[in-house]
Amino acid sequence: MPAARRQTRFLFLRFSLEFVVIILGVMVSLHFQGLRDAEVATEMKDQTLQQLIRVISDDLQQIDKFIVLQETSLDHANRLELVMKGESLLEEDSCLYSLSHVGRALRSFFPQQGTFNQLVSSDLVKVIDSPELKTRLFKLYNEDLLRHDVHTKEYDQFFLRFNYDLTRNFFLEDSWDLNSAPVTVHEYAFNSAYFFSDGLRADLIEARSSMRNYIRELMYLESEFEALRQLCAEEVSMPLDSLGLSSSP
């Protein structure tokens, strides 16, 4: 074999081997970079889910307070219904106090959605392993809470008008608080004709129906949030106790 031909073959084999080594090096580098990227994405996903767990816990506390608020308002509405039907008696002060409690049902639960939006916008939701968690996330935040928002606006429209009618007919001045003193009646002028009117009684019936529906809706959201919080904890392999949280709201 001529020397020139052997030299050409040698160079061909050499360059081919070097090319293969370079390709293998690039592939190994890309593989490890992919593993690193996946590890970083998993860490970010876990951190965001831990934040979501805390947000859900705050929302559960909110829901619990609003269930108590609605139940208290419903109790006062039931008490007023008995008075209007002549089956019970209340002093004027107590009647206006109860009416103010009914009007206080205007207060609504507003969920925090920023952390869920961060999960979606950053594509971290794609890194979640649990199919059930993904399904429940989108169902709760893209369906249940949107439906809740629509219902809340409907309730708000009714109770805004209800409270305006109380102000117009009783010159009622009151204030509300979620904590120590939930209702304070500052001033009013009792209007017996309006208190025993069909209009106010019809509004009271509608208010009771709205409060019952809203309590059921809040209880449903409470169970969904609780299930979602547990799934998030399982996804990040951290019991709720380790996050300073209990397993129930």
* Structural domain includes residue 49: yes
- C-alpha to C-alpha distance for 162 and 106, rounded to whole angstroms: 9
Report pLDDT digits (tens) over 104-157: 888 788 888 888 888 888 888 888 889 999 999 999 999 999 999 999 999 999
- Tally of domains in the chain: 1
Per the domain annotation, does 35 fall within a domain?
A: no
Residue type at 224 in one-letter notation: E
Residue 236 lies inside a defined structural domain of this protein: yes
Q: Distance between alpha carbon 101 and the CA centroid of its chain, in Å?
A: 25
146-179 exposure pattern, b = at least 16 Cβ within 10 A, e = fewer:
eebeeebeebeebbeebbebbeebbebebeeeee
Q: For 26-64, what is each residue's pLDDT tens digit? A: 676 565 555 465 566 678 888 889 999 999 999 999 999
Q: Is residue 14 part of a domain?
A: no
pLDDT over threshold 50, residue 249: no
Is 1 inside any structural domain? Answer: no
138 domain residue, yes or no: yes
Flag whether 117 is in a domain.
yes
**Residue 184 phi/psi, 5° resolution?**
-130, 120
User: What stretches of 120-223 adopt beta strand conformation (E)?
Assistant: 173-176, 183-187
Q: Which amino acid, residue 74? A: L
What per-residue confidence (pLDDT) applies to 125?
84
pLDDT tens, 59-101?
Answer: 999 999 999 999 999 999 999 999 998 888 889 999 999 999 9
Position 163 in a domain: yes
| Domain housing 222 | 44-243
